[in-house]
Copies of this chain bind each other. A is one copy, B any other.
């Protein structure tokens, strides 16, 4: 098994974190860099990512996540929040970044800009939000693997009230919707689930080879 896959095999959805252990600032920066480097549709990164370590804020968020203990026990909470009704203004902003990063005239990027706008403009708001939410899951998958590479534990979480979370964090005013959460930290020795055998579909059930 490759080292990469050994890390995937090592990781599991941590149910109980050791609340005394904190992820170092340096490791947080490495994880943020991995998120930043994640692929996304057209490279648009149509989301923002909240990284929360403040104990008071974590405590406030807990009821919005069904009081799951990971929210307060984990060292950090990472909340992926997709941009609502992503559209022309966001694409123009991205094109400006492409122009500056690559030293290209805006005019040279007009075709690319039009291509994206023509693809996104016809989408109704709910499809648009579903599409931006999906992009956060690429970054989530990448974060889980990047953390495992550093032997940092994670628990991805969909069990939360997005409206309540947005309200607490003032995300509505920021035009953001919480899409998915990862709590990160170090597993508690007491977490029995770390000893459970990993359950996966066998390859012949999961894959169709043509």
Give chain A's interface residues, CB within 8 Å of chain B. Answer: 1-2, 4-5, 8-9, 11, 13, 30, 32-39, 41, 43, 45, 48-54, 57, 94, 97-98, 101-102, 119, 130, 133-135, 137-142, 144-146, 149-150, 156, 158-159, 169, 180, 196-201, 203, 206-210
Known: A139-B141, A203-B36. A146 touches B5 (CB 8 A): yes
Known: A35-B206, A137-B141. A101 touches B197 (CB 8 A): yes
Nearest chain B CB to A40's CB is how many angstroms away?
A: 9
- B210–A34 touching, CB < 8 Å: no
Q: Which residues of B contact A4 (CB under 8 A)?
A: 30, 34, 145-146, 149
- B210–A50 touching, CB < 8 Å: yes
The secondary structure that dominates the A interface is helix
Which B-chain residue is minimally distant from A78 (CB atoms)?
B207
Nearest chain B CB to A134's CB is how many angstroms away?
A: 5
A201's contact among B8, B34, B45, by CB below 8 Å, is which?
Answer: B45
- B149–A37 touching, CB < 8 Å: no
A210's contact among B51, B180, B209, by CB below 8 Å, is which?
Answer: B51
Known: A50-B208, A206-B35. A199 touches B101 (CB 8 A): yes
- A201–B97 touching, CB < 8 Å: yes
Q: Which residues of B contact A52 (CB under 8 A)?
A: 209-210
Q: Which residues of B contact A37 (CB under 8 A)?
A: 5, 8-9, 198, 200
